[in-house]
A and B are shown apart, each in its own frame.
Chain A
Amino acid sequence: MSAPHHIPAAEAIIACEGLSKHFGGIRAFTDVAFQARRGEVTAVIGDNGAGKSTLIRSLVGVHQPDTGNLFFDGRARPFANPDEARKAGIETVHQNLALIDELTVAQNLFLNREIVRRIGPFAFLDRKAMKREARSMLSRLSINVPSISQRVRRLSGGQRQAISICRAVGSGAKLVVMDEPTAALGVQETANVEALIRRLREQSVSVILVSHNFDQVRRLSDQIWVMRAGKMAATVRASETSGNELVALVTGAA
């Protein structure tokens, strides 16, 4: 079980092999092989400091891996920065959400992807079109917010998370990466966000989910990858594992 399953390249939306990242003398992770299948929810779990977040950030261009190969959508694609990854079709829902409090829901949904009318060098906003689109994006994922003209500052944590996810999906991303999407949420809000992730799965959106919560991971994901002390320790099908087994894998007791 400790050797990662090999998935045919066509099935993997993203894959890496031999990936390592060091910060000075500190090894974040070493020689990691990882794959996520198209249309599945792939979870990455591990203890604090196991290297989950750094691995994910290295996949989406925030960090540059020191060694190893990265394949996205069937092609070798090292990303020099998050913008490149974004353009290639990877949307990240950041732990800190990356929403702008003072902008409205609609503005946030279209941030840096505004619908504009170009007149010479000027890009004028098509606010009507953006509002219309924003409404349909939200309704497609059954996300309820009081109003798309409301400032994000006034929304609850769960609503903010939903909007972040909606923005990621709405861009037509091939892969949505979520880092601890429910870490800061209450019980009801967590349930809402989980329902949202399930809807993504029904719509065959490829998702990578980083989480601490083993139960959540078993509820939501298809494949689970376990990191321990900077290495990829194991990978299992969510349907074939138990909470106890995951705990054992994460702590190294297995």
Chain B
Amino acid sequence: MSTPADNAPAAHSAGAEESRPSLAALLLDPSFWADWASVVGLVGLVIVFGIAQPVFLSVANLQALLLAAAILVVLSIGQTFVIATSGIDLSLAAAVMLGAIILGLVNAAGYGIFVACVLAVLATSAVGFLNGLIITAGKIPDFVVTLGTLSGITGLGLILSGGEPTMVGSTFLLRLASGSLGPFGYPVWVAIAAVIVAHIALYHTRFGVHLLATGGQTESAGALGIRTNRVKIAAYTISGFCAGIAAILLVARIGSAEPQINTSLLLNSVAAVVLGGVSLFGGRASILGPAIGALMLTALVNGLTLLNVSAFYQPLAVGAIVVLAALIMRYQK
């Protein structure tokens, strides 16, 4: 993740092989900016914030920034798989909450932290599976279904938890949250691992090709014998799985399972995917793009905070950037 340059979204490697346009032509091509929006945005933010507030570039702050971005990176990856099938998962943040609550309750019931983590991931994966099943079997639009499960699992979370947060005092989670290996904290390594695995799944497996084919032209893919419904269900299940991993990271970070939905996680996950150059119409995706998009959004909030900009302005800034990115995307070839 730290060296995005050598890992251009694979969408690019194809074009680059044939002919290399001159740098000037490249810079004048809006499609270049569309494909690289997240990288350009991140670099721009780093420069601006670095000049305005040198603390921003301190090692401590950059480490904190990466740590804060880890959860969003993992969620953005999940969202990417769904959006690549031309769907959207609005229940992502609610699934994180459900996962956190199940983790907290199972742990509180004395089953040990590993069982709790596994059950949390299983539960959120099941939510994703259910989303996919209802969308494909019921032929219902994705946003209706996931909006429904958003509400449903929010309620389930409140019922299970009684509306009360559960403290999770686990040394394992504490070490996960605060320990580090080399320059990065463990959560950052989790995010890096997620990026690598997802990248391989998307670009180097048969599933990845079928996923993009399903998102690009579902009917054509079906006509060629690709089982598009299964592919979609798998995408939503992956999204749910990512929500579970994010839930573990979240509980580790705040030390308790809160029956609260962090709606900005949902919005930012979609925003990161858009910034990452993934087509909302499906069929075109990368993993590094959204991951860098997630970094960029986190850097934005981090920088604004360092500049003492009121937290009230931050959603405004995020919203403006996302709409701007979506506008630039129109020029994507």
Tell yes or no: B283 within 8 A of A by CB: yes
Give residues of chain B (9-26) contacting chain A, Cβ–Cβ below 8 Å.
Answer: 14-15, 17-18
Q: With A100-B212, A100-B216 given, is the CB distance from A111 to B14 under 8 Å?
A: no
- Kindly provide the distance from the CB of A120 to the nearest chain B CB, expressed in whole angstroms: 12
Partner of A100, one of B206, B220, B225, B279: B220
Over the window 69-83 of chain A, the binary record of Cβ atoms lying under 8 Å from chain B Cβ atoms (1 yes, 0 no) is: 000000000000011
B226 partner residues in chain A, CB cutoff 8 A: 111-112
B205 and A111 within 8 A (CB): no
Report the Cα distance A146→B18, complex, angstroms: 9
Report the Cα distance A98→B207, complex, angstroms: 18
Closest to B225 in A: A83
B225 and A102 within 8 A (CB): no
Report the Cα distance A149→B19, complex, angstroms: 12
Report the Cα distance A235→B298, complex, angstroms: 70
B206 partner residues in chain A, CB cutoff 8 A: 114, 116, 123-125
Closest to A119 in B: B205
Give residues of chain A (93-150) contacting chain B, Cβ–Cβ below 8 Å.
Answer: 94, 96-104, 107, 111-112, 114, 116, 122-125, 127, 146-147, 149-150
A111 and B223 within 8 A (CB): no
Report the Cα distance A149→B17, complex, angstroms: 8
B interface, how many residues as a size bin?
Answer: 20 to 34
- Kindly provide the distance from the CB of B193 to the nearest chain A CB, expressed in whole angstroms: 16
A96 partner residues in chain B, CB cutoff 8 A: 219-220
- Kindly provide the distance from the CB of B122 to the nearest chain A CB, expressed in whole angstroms: 18
Report the Cα distance A230→B279, complex, angstroms: 43
Tell yes or no: A151 within 8 A of B by CB: yes
Tell yes or no: A231 within 8 A of B by CB: no
- Kindly provide the distance from the CB of B96 to the nearest chain A CB, expressed in whole angstroms: 27
Over the window 193-206 of chain B, the binary record of Cβ atoms lying under 8 Å from chain A Cβ atoms (1 yes, 0 no) is: 00000001001111
Closest to B17 in A: A149
Report the Cα distance A154→B224, complex, angstroms: 21
Report the Cα distance A123→B200, complex, angstroms: 11
B223 and A98 within 8 A (CB): yes
Partner of A107, one of B18, B209, B223, B333: B209
Report the Cα distance A122→B224, complex, angstroms: 21
Tell yes or no: A86 within 8 A of B by CB: yes
A102 and B216 within 8 A (CB): yes
Give residues of chain B (219-264) contacting chain A, Cβ–Cβ below 8 Å.
Answer: 219-221, 223-226
- Kindly provide the distance from the CB of A80 to the nearest chain B CB, expressed in whole angstroms: 12
B18 and A111 within 8 A (CB): no
Please count the residue pairs between chain A and chain B whose beta carbons lie under 8 angstroms apart in the complex.
84
Partner of B221, one of A104, A111, A147, A153: A111
Partner of B217, one of A100, A104, A114: A100
Please report whether the interface of chain B is mostly helix, strand, loop or mixed according to DSSP: helix
Closest to A152 in B: B216
Tell yes or no: B213 within 8 A of A by CB: yes
B220 partner residues in chain A, CB cutoff 8 A: 94, 96-100
With an 8 Å Cβ cutoff, the count of chain A residues facing the other chain is 31
B205 and A125 within 8 A (CB): yes
B14 and A86 within 8 A (CB): no
Closest to A96 in B: B220
B213 and A103 within 8 A (CB): yes
A103 and B209 within 8 A (CB): yes
A125 and B18 within 8 A (CB): no
Closest to B218 in A: A100
A102 and B221 within 8 A (CB): no
A102 and B284 within 8 A (CB): yes
Q: With A112-B224, A116-B206, A122-B205 given, is the CB distance from A101 to B217 under 8 Å?
A: yes
Most buried by B among A97, A100, A153: A100
A124 and B205 within 8 A (CB): yes
Over the window 1-37 of chain B, the binary record of Cβ atoms lying under 8 Å from chain A Cβ atoms (1 yes, 0 no) is: 0000000000000110110000000000000000000
Closest to B201 in A: A122
B204 partner residues in chain A, CB cutoff 8 A: 124-125, 127
B17 partner residues in chain A, CB cutoff 8 A: 147, 149
- Kindly provide the distance from the CB of B87 to the nearest chain A CB, expressed in whole angstroms: 16
Report the Cα distance A96→B224, complex, angstroms: 12
A127 partner residues in chain B, CB cutoff 8 A: 204
Closest to A84 in B: B225
Report the Cα distance A73→B221, complex, angstroms: 26
Report the Cα distance A86→B216, complex, angstroms: 22
B14 and A102 within 8 A (CB): no
A114 partner residues in chain B, CB cutoff 8 A: 206, 209
Q: List 7 A-B contacts (CB under 8 A).
A: A86-B224, A86-B225, A101-B283, A116-B205, A123-B205, A124-B204, A151-B14
Q: What would 14 more interface pairs be, CB under 8 Å, given A82-B225, A112-B225, A150-B15? A: A100-B283, A101-B283, A102-B216, A107-B209, A111-B221, A111-B224, A112-B210, A112-B224, A112-B226, A114-B206, A123-B207, A146-B18, A147-B17, A149-B18
Across the A-B interface, the 4 shortest Cβ-Cβ residue pairs = A83-B225, A102-B283, A98-B220, A123-B206
